[in-house]
Amino acid sequence: MSVIVSPSLLSADFLNLGKDIEMVNRSESEWVHLDIMDGVFVPNISYGLPIVAQIKKISRKLLDVHLMIVQPERYIEDFRKAGADILTVHIEASTHLHRTIQQIKTAGMKAGVALNPHTPVNQLEEIIHDIDVVLLMSVNPGFGGQSFIEQAVEKTHKLRKLINATGSPALIEIDGGVNYDTGRRLVQAGADALVAGSFVFKSKNPEEIIHGLKELDS
Ligand code: DX5
Ligand code: ZN
């Protein structure tokens, strides 16, 4: 199975968002990545529910929503209504993670759990069976265009081992600093899905970049 690509709209042209979503629709990506930031969990503020709902109207890709907000459990129903297909919460922001995951699934979405660069994958041991997607951050969340944290490759290896050993169905998704070089090494380490923001949207030919990421072989 080839790698799943999830272009991050954080680096899109917000004055022409419709055009960028049409590009993603035409591309070979399976998902489209939406970064929601509250200025508390992360130092930046991005966009919120009304934008997600508008994107849903024209997107033909699964909405992969990455919540970088405190108390994400308060917004599960709102994001379902806005059209999220995958809803990912940060482990560092979720006191009752088990309950939150169940609530996301009961609402009819796939449940994702994101880990900051400093958070070890063994924190997932007791919950890995319940998760649909693990999102490993390969930059500190909050901004696009940052440099890749190398430790993410080894971390991907460790998570692949944990998932294989437990028989969990979870997919491994990596977010931050993805390009052809880091992407290839992540896929080799066991990544199933790659988020790419600036690498896609700051390029002259974003569709071609998405195609190239799809070609990365394990
Ligand atoms: C960062 C976001 C990422 C961001 C990645 O907090 O979670 O999704 O858009 O951007 P690049 O691919 O430019 O590192
Ligand atoms: Zn993200």
pLDDT in tens, 38-71: 999 999 999 999 999 999 999 999 999 999 999 9
Q: Angle 17-26/49-58 helices, nearest 10 degrees?
A: 50
Q: Please say if 35 is a catalytic residue.
A: yes
Q: What is the pLDDT of residues 180-191, one digit of tens each?
A: 999 999 999 999
Task: Report d(CA 76, CA 100) in Å as an integer.
Answer: 8
Cα–Cα distances in angstroms (integers) from residue 65 to residues 34, 88, 134, 164, 216, in the given order: 5, 6, 13, 25, 24
Q: Is the CB of 153 under 6 A from ligand 1?
A: no
**Residue 218's pLDDT is what?**
56
Pocket test for ligand 1, best of 13, 35, 140 (most atoms within 8 A of CB): 35
Which residue in 35, 64, 85, 132 is the catalytic one?
35
Residue 217's pLDDT band (cuts 50, 70, 90): confident
- Ramachandran angles phi, psi of 126, nearest 5°: -80, -5
Q: What is the pLDDT of residues 2-52, one digit of tens each?
A: 999 999 999 999 999 999 999 999 999 999 999 999 999 999 999 999 999
Q: What is the pLDDT of residues 92-119, one digit of tens each?
A: 999 999 999 999 999 999 999 999 999 9
Residue 197 alpha carbon to ligand 2 centre in Å: 9
Residue 182, judged by CB atoms within 10 A of its CB (0-12, 13-18, 19+), counts as buried
> Do the beta carbons of residue 104 and residue 130 sit within 8 Å?
no
Q: Please say if 181 is a catalytic residue.
A: no
